[in-house]
C-alpha cells in the first residue's frame, strides 16, 4: 500500500479528532480537563475504555503471542473479570463517596501525607513506562508502514504523535478523551473484525469450519497445570485479578474516565459492561492469532524462529495486514493502529498531568492563570519523559504485552498492598516508613524471582504482583502503630 495514501488516511483521522475536540471544548470550565464536569454518559465511557485498555499492544501482541503461549492468556482474562467486579463494588464507591479527583488522595486520608505522595509517585512511574511501551509499539508500526518511505527518523515519528495528541487534548483533557476514545475503540474493533473476515475468506472456509479449525488447533490450549510454569493457571488467574485491580482500579488513567460519570451507580454500570465486552474482545484477538498462523502456514510464509520459538511475534499481524490482506484490510489496520497509538497515550498523558498537578503541585489552591500554566508545563514534561522512555526501549524485541505486565508487577505491587491494607483493615502505620518499604519490596521481589528460577526452576510469572503486594503488606504491618500511639497523635 502506498505510504502517501496511508499518510492521507492518518491526516484525515486526525482531522476528525480535532473536530471532536473543538465541539467538546465549548463551554468548558477550568476543571473540565480533570473531571469532564462529571457529565459523561456511562455507555460512552464504557465503550471508550475498551480501546484505552486494549491499545496497540493488545492489537498486535495478543494475536502474535499465540504462537508461543497458546491460549494461556485467557486464564489471565478470567482473573481480570473477577478483578473488575472488585473494582465495581469496592473501589468505585470509595472514590465517589470521597469525591476524589486524584484517586491517590485516599491514601492521605487513610495513612498520611508521605503514603499519599508515595502512592502517587508509583503510579506516575508505572503509567509512564506502560504508556511509553504501548505508544512505542504503535509508533514502530506507523514507522514501518509510512515514515520509512519518506526517510523520516523514528524519533521524529514519536515526536509527531505526541504533538498531535497535545493539539486535541490540551484544552479540555479528559472531557475530550471520553469522546475521542469512543471513536478510537470503534476503529480498533472494526480493524480486527475486518481482519477476521479477510483471513477467513483467504482460508476458503465457512464460519463453522474456521471455528472448528481454531478450537482443534494445537495452539488452542487454555489451561496450563504445570505449577513451575509462568503460565500456570493459578498464577495467571490470581495475577489477572490483581493486575486488573491495580492497572484499572488503582490507575488514575482508567478511573479518571469512570469518575466523569454522573453518579456512582452509572460508574458501576460502566465498569461491569466494559469488563464483559473486553473479555469477549480479547478472546476474539486470540482466535485471530490462530487464524494468522493458519494463513502463514497455508501460503508458505516463513516466520522467524529462534531456539524453537517464534521471535518478533508483534510483527506478524502488521506484516500480514499491510502486505498480504489487500488494501481494504490494510486501511482498516492503519486506522486501528493509529487509533490505538492515540488512545494509548492521550488519556495516559492527561492522567499523569492530573495526578502530578493535584498530588504534588496543589493545583486546586491556584488561580485560573496559574492552573493553566502548571498544567501546560506538566503536560510538556511528561510528553518529554515518555519520549525518552520510548527511545531507550526502541530496540527491544518480543511481545510488548508481557513486558508491560512484568513491569506492572513491580511498580503496581506496593500500590496494591497499600490499598488492600487500607480498605480491609483499620491498621495505622508509621507514615514516614512507607516510602522505604515501597521502594524496597519491588527489589526484594525481583531477587526472589531470580532465586526461585535459578534454584528451583520456578517462575513467578505475572504473580510478581502478588508477591510484591504481599511483602509490602507484611512490612507495613510490622511497622504498624499501636492503638495508644495513633490515638494520641490524632
Short-list 123, 118, 105, 124, CA closest to 431: 118
CATH number of the domain residue 106 falls in: 1.20.1730.10
Distance in angstroms (rounded) separating the CA atoms of residues 7 and 477:
56
Question: Residues 114-140: pLDDT tens digits?
Answer: 999 999 898 888 888 878 887 887 788
Q: What is the pLDDT of residue 180?
A: 76
Which pLDDT band, with edges at 50, 70 and 90, does 79 fall under?
A: very high
Residue 150: give the domain boundaries.
Answer: 3-24+40-401
At 359-382, the pLDDT tens digits run: 888 887 788 788 878 888 898 999
Query: Quick one: how far is CA 188 from the chain centroid?
Result: 15
Q: For 52-62, what is each residue's pLDDT tens digit?
A: 777 666 677 78
Determine the Cα–Cα distance for residues 135 and 163; give it in Å rounded to an integer.
Answer: 13
Average pLDDT over residues 151-169: 86
Q: Is residue 425 included in any domain, yes or no?
A: no
What tens digit of pLDDT does each residue of 19-52 get? 877 777 776 655 555 555 566 777 887 887 777 7
Phi-psi category of 301—alpha, beta or left, where left has phi over 0 and alpha has psi -120 to 50? beta
Least confidently predicted of 169-173, 461-465, 483-487: 483-487
Q: How far apart are CA 130 and CA 472, in angstroms?
A: 22
Alpha carbon 424 to its chain's center: 26
- Evaluate the CA torsion angle 282, 397, 155, 351 in order and state its sign: positive
Establish if 409 belongs to a structural domain: no
User: Does residue 250 lie in a domain region?
Assistant: yes
Mean pLDDT of all residues in 231-255: 86
Q: Which residue, 10, 112, 75, 36, is CA-closest to 435?
A: 112
pTM of structure: 0.78
* pLDDT at position 171 over 70: no
Name which of 432-436, 448-452, 483-487 the model is least confident about. 483-487
Task: Judge whether 32 lies within some domain.
Answer: no
**Is 463 contained in some domain?**
no
| Residue 475 in domain | no
* Number of domains into which the chain is organized: 1
**pLDDT(490) > 60:** no
**CA distance linking residue 227 with residue 458, whole number of Å:** 8
Cell digits for 331?
486501511
SS3 readout for 461-474: HHHHHHHHHHHHHH
Amino acid at each position: 500500500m502506498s505510504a502517501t495514501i496511508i499518510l492521507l488516511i492518518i491526516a484525515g483521522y486526525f482531522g476528525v479528532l480535532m473536530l471532536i475536540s473543538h465541539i467538546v471544548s465549548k463551554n468548558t470550565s477550568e476543571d473540565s480537563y480533570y473531571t469532564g464536569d462529571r457529565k459523561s454518559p456511562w455507555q460512552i465511557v464504557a465503550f471508550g475504555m475498551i480501546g484505552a485498555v486494549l491499545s496497540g499492544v493488545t492489537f498486535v501482541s495478543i494475536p502474535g503471542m499465540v504462537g508461543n503461549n497458546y491460549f494461556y492468556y485467557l486464564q489471565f482474562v478470567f482473573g481480570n473479570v473477577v478483578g473488575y467486579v472488585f473494582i465495581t463494588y469496592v473501589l468505585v464507591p470509595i472514590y465517589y463517596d470521597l469525591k476524589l479527583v486524584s484517586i491517590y488522595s485516599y491514601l492521605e486520608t487513610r495513612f498520611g501525607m508521605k503514603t499519599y505522595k508515595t502512592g502517587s509517585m508509583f503510579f506516575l512511574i508505572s503509567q509512564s513506562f506502560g504508556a511509553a511501551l504501548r505508544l512505542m509499539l504503535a509508533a514502530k508500526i506507523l514507522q514501518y508502514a509510512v515514515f520509512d518511505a519518506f526517510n523520516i527518523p523514528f524519533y521524529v515519528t514519536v515526536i509527531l504523535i505526541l504533538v498531535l495528541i497535545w493539539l486535541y487534548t490540551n484544552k479540555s483533557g479528559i472531557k475530550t478523551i471520553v469522546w475521542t476514545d469512543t471513536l478510537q475503540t470503534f476503529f480498533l474493533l472494526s480493524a480486527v473484525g475486518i481482519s477476521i473476515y479477510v483471513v477467513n475468506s483467504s482460508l476458503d472456509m465457512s464460519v463453522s469450519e474456521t471455528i472448528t479449525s481454531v478450537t482443534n488447533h494445537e495452539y488452542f490450549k487454555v489451561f496450563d497445570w504445570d505449577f513451575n510454569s509462568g503460565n500456570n493457571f493459578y498464577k495467571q488467574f490470581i495475577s489477572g485479578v490483581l493486575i486488573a485491580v491495580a492497572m484499572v482500579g488503582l490507575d488514575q488513567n482508567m478511573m479518571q474516565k469512570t469518575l466523569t460519570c454522573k453518579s456512582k451507580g452509572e460508574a458501576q454500570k460502566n465498569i461491569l459492561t466494559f469488563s464483559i465486552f473486553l473479555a469477549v474482545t480479547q478472546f476474539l484477538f486470540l482466535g485471530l492469532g490462530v487464524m494468522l498462523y493458519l494463513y502463514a502456514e497455508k501460503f508458505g510464509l516463513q516466520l522467524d524462529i529462534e531456539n524453537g520459538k517464534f521471535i518478533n511475534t508483534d510483527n506478524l499481524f502488521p506484516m500480514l495486514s499491510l502486505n498480504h490482506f489487500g488494501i481494504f484490510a490494510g486501511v482498516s489496520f492503519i486506522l486501528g493502529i493509529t487509533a490505538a497509538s492515540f488512545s494509548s497515550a492521550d488519556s495516559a498523558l492527561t492522567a499523569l498531568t492530573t495526578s502530578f498537578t493535584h498530588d504534588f503541585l496543589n493545583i486546586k489552591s491556584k488561580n485560573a492563570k496559574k492552573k493553566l500554566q502548571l498544567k501546560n508545563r506538566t503536560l510538556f514534561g511528561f510528553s518529554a519523559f515518555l519520549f525518552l522512555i520510548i527511545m531507550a526501549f526502541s530496540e527491544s524485541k518480543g511481545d510488548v504485552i508481557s513486558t508491560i505486565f512484568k513491569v506492572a508487577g513491580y511498580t503496581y505491587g506496593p500500590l496494591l498492598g497499600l490499598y488492600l491494607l487500607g480498605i480491609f483493615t483499620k491498621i495505622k502505620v508509621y507514615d514516614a516508613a512507607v516510602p522505604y518499604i515501597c521502594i524496597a519490596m519491588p527489589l526484594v521481589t525481583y531477587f526472589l524471582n531470580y532465586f526461585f528460577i535459578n534454584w528451583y526452576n520456578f517462575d513467578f510469572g505475572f504473580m510478581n504482583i502478588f508477591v510484591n503486594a504481599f511483602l509490602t503488606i507484611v512490612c507495613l504491618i510490622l511497622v504498624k502503630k499501636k492503638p495508644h500511639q495513633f490515638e494520641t497523635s490524632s
